[in-house]
Structures are given as structure tokens and as C-alpha cells.
Amino acid sequence: MAAAHLLAASASSSSTAAFRPPLRLRSSAHPPHLRLSRTGRRTFPVVRAAETDAKDGAAKPKAPEKAPAGSGSSFNQLLGIKGAKQESDIWKIRLQLTKPVTWPPLIWGVLCGAAASGNFHWTVEDVTKSIVCMIMSGPCLTGYTQTINDWYDRDIDAINEPYRPIPSGAISENEVITQIWVLLLAGLGLGALLDAWAGHDFPIIFYLAVGGSLLSYIYSAPPLKLKQNGWIGNFALGASYISLPWWAGQALFGTLTPDIVVLTTLYSIAGLGIAIVNDFKSIEGDRTLGLQSLPVAFGMETAKWICVGAIDITQLSVAGYLLSTGKLYYALALVGLTIPQVVCQFQYFLKDPVKYDVKYQASAQPFFVLGLLVTALATSH
């Protein structure tokens, strides 16, 4: 719900330095002025994170106007992942900033929570409620999270991915800030609507939305900027993608119990491991700007094993918990779903976490998310 990115396997989860030099408007012989584009949309002076005035001595390279590959994919652009085609359509750019590829884990989390409640029924009303909750968690609040993350990552994106919408100047500062507020208010509004719809005396879904939004903000923004710390930042990311949407789905149809809170928080450790996967491709920019991601802090070799250990040990621990509560078949199913993940780790990730990150996540994560559903079904009985 808050954050950011477990299928951000496909999405680039950039990192930010603790210090950022002041941004400058592009210098020119004449002061910047507002103008109308060919589409009639008024454009604003663009803040380009990677540019400096000529008199400053070109401290940073100018962000290229286009992605490295001229034949970028329109599909990648709509999903908000690397290899995207450069777009001039403002609505496609807005969609790209929300990184739709990162929505499915949140949507799946809502589904798991609904299943765990034991009270979801395939009626028109229950299906509609769940869809509204998924829209709140995915397009609205995850879109808010991804947009605000890109906003605060604009300097490091100028190093790692200078062709992204914000550092390249494809979208203006005012347009980005407007998008952040619209998505945030829409998500909070849907949370309040769901509480009223469910007849809650205490607006638990609204407060979960507020908490997730706050977590997203302090993850990306100074002065806390949780992502500067590899352990805290990645755990916060894992909790946002697993615990919060699960809690929202379960609270919508049933009662959020302490044992579920503990179990999903434990699962967030696995989310920490999955979040680390995305840190390897940003290691150059992180190291340059002094960001202590786990691959930077421990080195790639050690960070690889921390990553797979967090994912595998967590799932085996949950399987042990299910076994201890008499859910033998669910525990065996979870172990069975963990084995192919381990195979993929040795086949792809442990060989080269940068080269094979997409292949690994595409191969292993379906088994992980199915394990979440198995756990949800086990807790509902």
C-alpha cells in the first residue's frame, strides 16, 4: 500500500543521497517564460536535476533527452520499467511515474487478507468492496509512493537512469507535485469510504492508509529518509507491500487479530530480502552518493546471501508455525513452494544478481506470492 516496489523487480527502485546540491533552472540568455505546447497544455520552466549553469563548470553530465535505445518499448513505458519509450503524452508520463508493474503485490495482499478473514463471499457486494480496496492500495497509494519516491530520487536517477521523466524534464515540477497530492487524497478518501461501507465504528482502513502513506513519505524524504539505511528501509518496504494491504483486506471483511499482525510482520522479513534484489542494479549510484544499501555496505557477495536467507528462512519459519498449529498440509504446501525459489536462486540470482535479476524475480516470485495465499487460507480455517 505504501511503497514501494516488490515487483519493482521490473520497476527501478532508485536510491537517494543524504545530501543534494541545490537545483538550478537551465540558464539562458533570456529569463524562462511560460509557453503553450502544440497540444495547448501550458508548460512550466523545468527543473532538471542533472544540469548546472555553464559557469559552474559542468559538475554533472546533462541528462540525455532520450533513453539510450531509440527503439524503446511502449509497453515498458506504460508499466514504468526500464527500456521504456520516450513519450510526450503527459498522461502516459503520469502513468509511467506510478509504475503499474508494482501494483500487483498490493492487489494480491488485499486478496490474501480477504481470504484470511474467512468472511469473503463471491457476491457482487464483496467483490466490489475488494476491487475498491485494491484500487486504493495499488493505483492510488502505490502510485503515490512511486511518484514521491521518483521525486526525491531525481538526483540519483540523473546518474542511474537520466532518461526517466523527472530528471529528463519530460514532466514539470508542478505536474509532479499535483500528481502526488491527487493520488494521496484519492487513496485516503477510498479508505474512509471502505470503513463506512463496512460499518466500522473505528476507521481502521483509513488509519492504515494514513500510516502507509506516512511510511512512504519518510522512506523517501528527508530528514528521516529510511531508504538510506539498507536494513530499516528494506524492511519498511517489505511491510508496505505485504503487511499493510493484507491488514486492509482482512479488516474490510473480518477482524484484524494479533496473531495475523505477527505472522504478516514476520513475512515482511521475506519482503526485505526481495527488496534487496532491486538494490544491486543501483549500486553504482548508491556508492557514488554515499547511500548505505546492503550491497554497498556488505559487498555484493555477502548481500546476495543475506537476501536469499531472508526470503527462504522466513518462509520455512512460517511453515513451521503452520505445522505447530496443526496445519500439516498447508505447511507442506508452503515448503513445496519454497523449493523452486531456492532452485531459481542458485540458477540465476546467486550467479549474477545484476544480470539475472529480472529472470530470477519472474521465475521465483510467483511461487512466493502463492505461498502468501496458502498462508492466508491456512489462517482462515
Count how many residues are written for the chain. 381
Q: What is the dihedral of CA 236, 231, 6, 343, to 10 degrees?
A: -140
Instruction: For residue range 39-54, list pLDDT tens digits in order.
Output: 444 443 443 333 333 3
- Please give the grid coordinates belonging to residue 290: 554515499
Q: What is the dihedral of CA 66, 68, 72, 76, to 10 degrees?
A: -90
**What is the percent of the chain where pLDDT is above 70?**
78
Q: What is the pLDDT of residue 24?
A: 41
**Residue-wise burial string across 171-181, b where 16 or more C-beta atoms lie within 10 A, e elsewhere:** bbbebbeebbe
- Is the pLDDT at 208 greater than 60, yes or no? yes
- What is the bridge-based pairing of β-strands 42-43 and 35-36? antiparallel
The better pLDDT of the pair 135, 161 is held by: 135
Mean pLDDT in residue range 13-22: 40
- Please give the grid coordinates belonging to residue 337: 513452494
- Is the pLDDT at 182 greater than 50, yes or no? yes
- Is the pLDDT at 27 greater than 60, yes or no? no
- Is the pLDDT at 261 greater than 80, yes or no? yes
Q: How confident is the model at residue 77 (pLDDT cuts 50, 70, 90)?
A: low
Q: Is the sign of the CA dihedral 21, 25, 26, 27 positive or negative?
A: negative
Q: What is the pLDDT of residue 73?
A: 72
Average pLDDT value over all residues in the chain: 82
Give 43: exposed, middle or buried? Use CB within 10 Å, 0-12, 13-18, 19+.
Answer: middle
Q: What is the spatial distance between Cα 256 and Cα 133, in angstroms, rounded to a whole number? A: 16
Q: What is the pLDDT of residue 43?
A: 41
Among 71-75, 92-96, 103-107, 226-230, the minimum mean pLDDT is found in 71-75
- Is the pLDDT at 227 greater than 80, yes or no? yes
Q: What is the pLDDT of residue 117?
A: 94
- Is the pLDDT at 66 greater than 70, yes or no? no
Q: What is the spatial distance between Cα 220 and Cα 149, in angstroms, rounded to a whole number? A: 5
Longest C-alpha distance within the chain, in Å?
76
Q: How confident is the model at residue 294 (pLDDT cuts 50, 70, 90)?
A: very high
Instruction: For residue range 111-137, list pLDDT tens digits in order.
Output: 999 999 999 999 999 999 999 999 999
- Is the pLDDT at 283 greater than 90, yes or no? no
Domains and CATH numbers, the chain: 84-254 (1.10.357.140), 257-380 (1.20.120)
Instruction: For residue range 314-361, list pLDDT tens digits in order.
Output: 999 999 999 999 999 999 999 999 999 999 999 999 999 989 988 998
- Is the pLDDT at 84 greater than 70, yes or no? no
Strand partners, 25: 47
**Residue-wise burial string across 238-262, b where 16 or more C-beta atoms lie within 10 A, e elsewhere:** bbbbbbbbbbbbbbbbbebeeebee
